[in-house]
Amino acid sequence: MKQNTKLIQAGRGKEWTGQAVNPPVVRASTITFDTMAELAHASQRKGDRVPYYGRRGTATHFAFQEAICELEGGAGCALYPCGAAAVSGALLSFLQQGDHLLMVDSVYEPTRALCEKILRPMGVETEYYDPMIGAGIAALLRPNTKAIFLESPGSLTMEVQDVPTICKLARANGVITLLDNTWASPILCRPFELGVDISIQAATKYIVGHSDVMLGTASANEQYWPQLREHSYILGYCASADDVYQASRGLRTLGVRLAQHQQNALKIAHWIAQRPEVETVRHPAFASNPGHDYFVRDFSGSNGLFSFVLKQGGAKAVAAFVEGMQYFKMGFSWGGYESLISPTLNVQKLRTASQWPYSGPLIRLHIGLEDPEDLMADLEQAFSRYQAAL
């Protein structure tokens, strides 16, 4: 089955949809049973998409979980109320006092906050590593290293990691690997084929695709799925059936949306790269991007998210650039149909284990589904404001 066909078919078995096209929205807290035998059956099979209690899920949840597993290749998928909860739920399912965690230095800032403000006081030591370390990760492994967390590409600075090499070394040493795979969505990278144990998605972004739902997923291979499922349940994580329905619907158009995001973003990124004000463009599809060869090897395409670095400028010039945009809106997240802009004045402040090679401010763009000519005209005005403010 080809990918675009799979996006339409995944999670739409008759056991979930009946005679309808889409799985229905089934809202439930309590699941009732007529006999002790039915209750016992549901209790024994509560990890097998059998209704047991609302927090375990309903047919709406089971259909979406099945779809994510079909697309990413995992043995099971846990759902969370947002992407950050998927990160914390996955890590807390496996880490305990005395463990050593290797965390990529380019990681999403809230994940770093989790490590410093929650895991460290719990007695879990986090050590950050250069995203381009590759096989060098072996030198950081200790007897108590429990997990390696990857984010590839980094969602701000876009380094692409050598995921298969890191995962191979981890598996040889009994270390769990977790990948924040949100940039790739479920269709641009097959994490389990690269050796990843647990793949995490902020479904809030490209899966939902309309900036109106918060949702997270964590899929695991057969070895780690039972523990991820049970520990996430014990921690109390669950997701609304209405939100999951919206995510299921988003999956059906994910292929065509990503293709357009990619086309628009590449056109604009190449235009930005020619600007005299720009030091460099950080886009995984660019040969100059760190880890580009890994991107070509491990990914089937790109999306609408990339960054660029200005040659100079302080807070005043950056404010002039990002304020007054007509089509780009300033805000967090990405993956919706709209274009977004986000500035970072000092990337090095967000790192502790690797050196950021540029001194100028970084601008991250999410290129939406607007006409790229309109977006470039908006950016042209931004560059004019920036130059006047220098």
Say how many CA atoms lie within 13 Å of 142 toward its Cβ.
Answer: 11
Strand ranges (E), the chain: 76-80, 100-104, 125-129, 145-151, 176-180, 198-201, 216-220, 278-282, 305-310, 329-330, 340-344, 362-366
Instruction: Note if 190 is an active site residue.
Output: no
Nearest to residue 180, comparing CAs of 284, 282, 108? 108
Here the tokens at position 117 are 């403000």
Is 12 annotated as catalytic? no
Give catalytic status of residue 108 as yes or no. yes
Who's near 252: CB < 8 A, 6+ residues apart? 7, 8
Q: Which of 12, 146, 205, 364 is catalytic?
A: 205
Return the closest-CA partner of residue 339 out of 294, 369, 306.
369
Q: 378 vs 22, 45, 320, 372, CA distance in Å?
A: 39, 55, 13, 10
Q: Name the catalytic one among 12, 80, 105, 108.
A: 108
Catalytic residue check, 385: no
Q: Which of 6, 46, 55, 329 is catalytic?
A: 55
Among residues 99, 130, 180, 298, which one is catalytic?
180
Residue among 325, 74, 38 at smallest CA distance from 177:
74
Indicate which residues carry an active-site annotation.
55, 108, 180, 205
